[in-house]
């Protein structure tokens, strides 16, 4: 039987520091600093906020924002990406919040969008 200290060390090694309590990810995340625009529908009207992405994965993005969002909220994201002449425009759901830090999971990506994100992640992986 392992000691409690050993279990704690194993759990901490598997957690992603950007998402407290998250044990595993489907895809790795890569550092990406890009200005991001978020469009949301709150209190009966559309509004925008700005921020900077912190990390990108094939299934989502982390960002620090100027606005306030709630976990589970659906938003539209506009993200300039390397290798793409136009910003990526996608729908996403807020999966976690921590102060001004947010984690988004992409929803209903097209084949072209999914391929662009995959290529950018591959490029970012080769940089690290």
Per-residue pLDDT reduced to its tens digit, 39-88 = 999 889 999 999 999 999 999 999 999 989 999 999 999 999 988 899 99
In whole angstroms, what is the distance from residue 84 CA to residue 80 CA?
7
In a domain, 21, yes or no: no
Q: Report pLDDT for 45.
A: 93
Which of 97, 111, 46 lies closest to 75, judged by CA?
Answer: 46
Q: What is the largest CA-CA distance in the chain?
A: 57
Decide if 101 is inside a domain.
yes
Mean pLDDT of the chain: 84
Q: What is the pTM of this model?
A: 0.79
Residue 20 lies in a domain: no
In a domain, 112, yes or no: yes
Domain with 80 in it: what CATH number?
Answer: 2.40.10.220
pLDDT value of residue 48:
95
Q: For 46, phi and psi rounded to 5 degrees?
A: -80, 145
Q: What is the pLDDT of residue 10?
A: 30
Show the domain range for 96.
27-127
And the tokens for 80?
Answer: 């300039």
Query: Is 17 contained in some domain?
Result: no
At residue 20 the predicted structure's pLDDT band, cuts being 50, 70 and 90, is very low
8 Å CB contact between 18 and 55: yes
- Within-domain flag for 89: yes
Query: Residue 14: its pLDDT value, please?
Result: 33
pLDDT digits (tens, 9 = 90+) for 85-121: 999 999 999 999 999 999 999 998 999 999 999 999 9
Number of domains in the chain: 1
Instruction: Give me 116's structure tokens.
Output: 């662009």
């Amino acid at each position: 039987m392992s000691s409690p200290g050993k279990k704690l060390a194993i759990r901490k090694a598997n957690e992603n520091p950007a998402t407290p309590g998250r044990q595993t990810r489907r895809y790795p995340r890569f550092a990406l600093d890009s200005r991001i625009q978020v469009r949301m529908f709150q209190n009966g009207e559309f509004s925008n906020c700005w921020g900077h992405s912190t990390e990108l994965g094939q299934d989502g993005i982390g960002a620090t924002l100027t606005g306030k969002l709630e976990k589970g909220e659906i938003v539209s994201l506009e993200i300039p990406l390397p290798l793409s002449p136009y910003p990526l425009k996608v729908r996403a759901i807020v999966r976690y919040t921590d102060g001004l830090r947010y984690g988004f999971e992409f929803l209903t990506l097209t084949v072209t969008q999914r391929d662009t994100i995959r290529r950018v992640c591959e490029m970012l992986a080769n940089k690290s």
